[in-house]
Amino acid sequence: MKKIEDNNTLVFIVDIWADKKKIEAVVKKMYDIQTKKVNTLIR
């Protein structure tokens, strides 16, 4: 929650094959918002 409040950041768990462009498109479609930056982390 701290990251959401301090940095205006949302965290999603997505498919391993989803790239940044796909993630950005889905977020725009679902929430009708413009993304500034997409970071990915593979664990």
pLDDT at 1 over 70: no
- State the Cα–Cα distance between residues 43 and 36, nearest whole angstrom: 23
Position 8 scores a pLDDT of: 84
Q: 2-40: per-residue pLDDT in tens?
A: 667 888 888 899 999 999 999 999 999 999 999 999 999
Position 15 scores a pLDDT of: 94
pTM here is 0.77
